[in-house]
Amino acid sequence: MRKHILITGGAGFIGSHLSDEFLRRGYKVRILDSLSPNVHGPDQRRPDYLHNEVELIVGDVCDPDAVRTSLEGIDTVFHLAAAVGVGESMYEVVRYNKTNNLGTAVLLESLINRPVERLIVASSMSIYGEGLYRAPDGSVSAGVERTLKQLKAKDWEVRNADGEVLTPIPTPELKPPSLASVYALSKYDQERMCLIVGRAYGIATVALRFFNVYGTRQALSNPYTGVLSIFASRLLNGNPPLVFEDGHQRRDFVNVHDVAQACCLALESTEAIGQVFNVGGGCSYTILDISVRMANLLGKRDIQPEITESYRAGDIRHCFADTTAIHRVLGYKPRVTFEEGLTELAAWLDGQTANDRIAEARAELDRRGLIL
């Protein structure tokens, strides 16, 4: 009998790629998704890219009845449902806590009454805050943060108590959380709730901390989604990408196909149970470099990025993944190079339309005093 998978929040770009991969492996797939207008537009219709074999239940993860219905006959749950975005979370506090925290609690109470074989929760690199750093003397520092005084002075680098600039190094799962935004806090809550309840009720649970996921099918009109789609939205409308600080902050970009690979490995491995894994691309790039690459790929070389020299509340300087653990335990290794992934993304973007709402979102943050 074919195993049956439920993906909460699965109608978005990550969930749809997971669906494709699970169907290829012979699983049955059901999705519970509210079809948020931010992601799916005002019509809230079934996305064209969603495979016709996927069963879609339109409903809210905070609705116990919708969750109970969606769990009927399910063997495994992938919990992706979440409000996403650092900046917006700093003023949409109730909505982020409702969707991310309450939604997870509703799901877990349903699972307590009707356990499944496995639960895999999508966590986030945002819980680390600043990544791991090395000082000039070779010592490693965790939990170092920039002060408001230094940020107002536009001194962007992370420094130790002696004022020395620290060098970012790959961040492993053992680094303690340093929660810099409401979004980060809610993702940490999601992760810990799932692991705690899973252990208590004998549900094999795995948490995957996604770094910056990119790829085809990303929402191009959501101003709080991934930076690559935000830059693409700007460029497709002939506008310069907006780059905060000086653009030299570093991030880890992981292709959605590699995320799907990691999810399948977590689904099928017994050694993964009860553990937390980084899912990254294995390399880091500056945001400024990313903006230039996107412009070149889209044939917009004449559009130069706008470096704002400003700080957005909740942002961090550097964070990129140490993927040693997921490679050792699950055999995960990124298969899609960044160049290959960007080329595929650019081909998909050709002919796409985007409602550029970035300036509107920035103005809202500025109005609330969340940009320095």
In a domain, 208, yes or no: yes
What was the pLDDT predicted at 44? 81
The CATH code of the domain that includes 242 is 3.40.50.720
Q: How many CA atoms lie within 13 A of 226 on its CB side?
A: 26
In a domain, 87, yes or no: yes
In a domain, 88, yes or no: yes
Domain count across the chain? 1
In a domain, 372, yes or no: no
**Cβ(330)–Cβ(290) under 8 Å?**
no
Instruction: Tell me 100's DSSP state.
Output: I
In a domain, 231, yes or no: yes
What was the pLDDT predicted at 222? 79
**Cβ(280)–Cβ(211) under 8 Å?**
yes
**CA dist., res. 207 & res. 366, Å (int):** 34
Q: Where do we find the tokens 């496995």?
A: 118
Phi and psi for 253 in degrees, rounded to 5? -110, 125
Spatial neighbors of 105 by CB under 8 A, at least 6 apart, are: 193
Residues in the chain: 372
In a domain, 274, yes or no: yes
H or E element in which residue 120 lies: strand 118-124
Residue 293 CA, chain-centre distance (Å), reads: 21
In a domain, 21, yes or no: yes
DSSP string, 203-245: -EEEEEEE-EEE-TT--SS-TTS-HHHHHHHHHHTT-PPEE-T
**CA dist., res. 56 & res. 64, Å (int):** 17
Pairing of strands 55-58, 76-79: unpaired
Domain that holds residue 260: 4-367
Q: What is the pLDDT tens value at each position of the chain, 372 positions in all?
A: 789 999 999 999 999 999 999 999 999 999 999 998 878 877 888 999 999 999 999 999 999 999 999 999 999 999 999 999 899 999 999 999 999 999 999 999 999 999 999 999 999 999 999 999 999 999 998 889 999 999 999 999 999 989 999 999 999 999 999 999 999 999 999 999 999 999 999 999 999 999 999 999 998 877 777 899 899 999 999 999 999 999 999 999 999 999 999 999 999 899 999 999 999 998 999 999 999 999 999 999 999 999 999 999 999 999 999 999 999 999 999 999 999 999 999 999 988 887 888 888 888 888 999 998
In the structure encoding, which two tokens stand for residue 316, read together? 């961090």
